[in-house]
Amino acid sequence: MATPPPPTLIRRLLPRGLLARSVLIIVMPLLVVQVVALQLFYGSHWEVVSRRLAMSVAGDLATVTGLMERFPDEEDRGWIFAAALVNSELVLSFDPRAQLPSPPDNMPERDLARAIAEQLNLPVIISHADSRTVRIDLQLRTGVLTAEVPRKRLFTGTVYLFWLWLIGSSALLFAIAALFMRNQVKPIRRLAVAAEAFGMGREVGPIKPEGAVEVRQAATAFNLMQARVRRFLAQRTEMLAGVSHDLRTPLTRMRLALAMLPGRTADAEEIAELTDDVVEMERMIEAYLSFARGEGSEQTEAVDLAQMAEEMAQRARRDGALVEVAVPAITMRLRPDAMRRALANLIDNARRHGKRIALSAAWVSRPGGTAVEIAVDDDGPGIPPTRREEAFRPFVRLTEVAGTGSTGGTGLGLAIARDIVRAHGGEIFLEDGPLGGLRARIRLPV
């Protein structure tokens, strides 16, 4: 089976479920629109507000320097600074005769620097005293005025609202979308489960059409298909049973008539040959009949594979075969009689063509999910790859069993086994086995 190409990064990041995908499709664009809208609105609003705040701080500083110029005495500084502290939250200090160094290149608070330049036009150095205070050093004619301003006077406190709104509204949206989409996805999921079970040959009643129109349509179509497939299967088995049954009566009559023929020596050999042919035809029909009888009605049930394999091995050992069993405890839903018939046919072949037989089973994982594989190996001559497909065809016998001059069979074993396995949604393969002979491998989805 071809492996799918490795998924790209985007595909790996995207959720795989329909529910998650549809919720994402709803939430993502809204989130983007919100971020863009809020950025446009809040970004400009924010700028205006922080510029105004800087202007107000600069204005307060201008008032202070104005007062200091009008009342230059040292005693007056006390009440000026006190008033600034009470009215404007400015902590002021003055260092006469001090000289500001040249300002650093990248000063913080560009809006504030610009506002001070506009209103005071004095050399200034702005720095962050600590995380909550901005320090402003102003060069006056007589010295350096240092002001410490609480940062909250320069910032709007509404940024968190922005995030609160964004996260809150998307969470709400997500919840509502998930709630509604879940109900939309549920019928699709139910349909998928039903189709899968039907594919594995399990009994699924008609499913109730619900959900969106398209989903209802799919459910109705599935129900119709299911009914048609079941009708077709029933017809086929009925026809098979009918034909086999009708043939059995004349055949029995022929065999009895042959047995009654007066045993003239000249004809004895021909009569024996004819009798053999009739007996073989009867056997073929028996096989068909038992096949047709079993298939129609049997229901699936939980079966322990290890136990089933051991039973089959016991039966083969009673018939004189050397059988090894390596089947772990696996419980799965099967039609037990049908599966036993399929396995019996494979074991029968292995016994007929080889001396040693091995039964094994294992879990395997494959792209579509997990499966159980059961293998029947023998140490016989095997079947060349080119003839394996042919071996599955009904009534095809490839080789004679060594030394007996007969194949011992009707050529139906593999055809029936494949039919049964496929009715379980599985597949059967013939390949080279580890014992040197043929391996018949059954793969059953679970």
Taking contact as CB under 6 A, which single stretch among the options 82-90, 251-259, 271-279, 409-417 is the one that binds ligand ATP? 409-417
Cβ of residue 396: shortest distance to ligand ATP, in angstroms? 6
Query: Pick from 103, 106, 140, 102: which is nearest to 121 by CA?
Result: 140
Cβ of residue 384: shortest distance to ligand ATP, in angstroms? 10
**296 contributes a contact to ligand ATP by CB under 6 A:** no
- Closer to Mg ion by CB, 300 or 349: give it: 349
Build a one-symbol-per-residue string for 342-361: x at contacts with Mg ion by CB under 5 A, - elsewhere.
Answer: -------x------------
Cβ of residue 348: shortest distance to Mg ion, in angstroms? 5
Number of residues that bind ligand ATP (CB under 6 A): 25
Chain-centre distance for alpha carbon 255:
60
- Closer to ligand ATP by CB, 202 or 397: give it: 397
Q: How would you write the chain as a 3-class SS string?
A: CCCCCCCCHHHHHCCCCHHHHHHHHHHHHHHHHHHHHHHHHHHHHHHHHHHHHHHHHHHHHHHHHHHHHHCCCHHHHHHHHHHHHHHHCCEEEEEECCCCCCCCCCCCCHHHHHHHHHHCCCCEEEEEEECCEEEEEEECCCEEEEEEEEHHHCCCCCHHHHHHHHHHHHHHHHHHHHHHHHHHHHHHHHHHHHHHHHHCCCCCCCCCCCCCHHHHHHHHHHHHHHHHHHHHHHHHHHHHHHHHHHHHHHHHHHHHHHHHCCCCHHHHHHHHHHHHHHHHHHHHHHHHHHHHHHHHHCCCEEEEHHHHHHHHHHHHHHCCCEEEEECCCCEEEECHHHHHHHHHHHHHHHHHHCCEEEEEEEEEEECCEEEEEEEEEECCCCCCHHHHHHHCCCCCCCCCCCCCCCCCCCCCHHHHHHHHHHHCCCEEEEEECCCCCEEEEEEEEC
Chain-centre distance for alpha carbon 198:
20
For residues 374 and 352, give the distance between their C-alpha atoms in angstroms, rounded to a whole number: 19
- Closer to ligand ATP by CB, 68 or 321: give it: 321
**381 contributes a contact to ligand ATP by CB under 6 A:** yes
Find which of Mg ion, ligand ATP, none residue 380 binds, CB within 5 to 8 Å per kind: ligand ATP
**413 contributes a contact to Mg ion by CB under 5 A:** yes
Cβ of residue 191: shortest distance to ligand ATP, in angstroms? 37
Single residue of 407, 427, 429, 436 touching ligand ATP by CB under 6 A:
407
Which amino acid would we find at residue 223? N
Cβ of residue 295: shortest distance to ligand ATP, in angstroms? 16
Cβ of residue 2: shortest distance to Mg ion, in angstroms? 32
Single residue of 438, 442, 444, 445 touching ligand ATP by CB under 6 A:
438
- Closer to Mg ion by CB, 134 or 338: give it: 338
Find which of ligand ATP, Mg ion, none residue 391 binds, CB within 5 to 8 Å per kind: ligand ATP
**380 contributes a contact to ligand ATP by CB under 6 A:** yes
**412 contributes a contact to ligand ATP by CB under 6 A:** yes
Find which of ligand ATP, Mg ion, none residue 343 binds, CB within 5 to 8 Å per kind: none
**345 contributes a contact to ligand ATP by CB under 6 A:** yes
For residues 294 and 416, give the distance between their C-alpha atoms in angstroms, rounded to a whole number: 11
Build a one-symbol-per-residue string for 28-67: x at contacts with Mg ion by CB under 5 A, - elsewhere.
Answer: ----------------------------------------
Taking contact as CB under 6 A, which single stretch among the options 41-49, 98-106, 187-195, 345-353 is the one that binds ligand ATP? 345-353
Taking contact as CB under 6 A, which single stretch among the options 13-21, 176-184, 207-215, 397-405 is the one that binds ligand ATP? 397-405
Interface with Mg ion (CB under 5 A) = 349, 409, 413
Interface with ligand ATP (CB under 6 A) = 345, 348-350, 353, 378, 380-383, 391, 396-399, 407, 409-415, 437-438
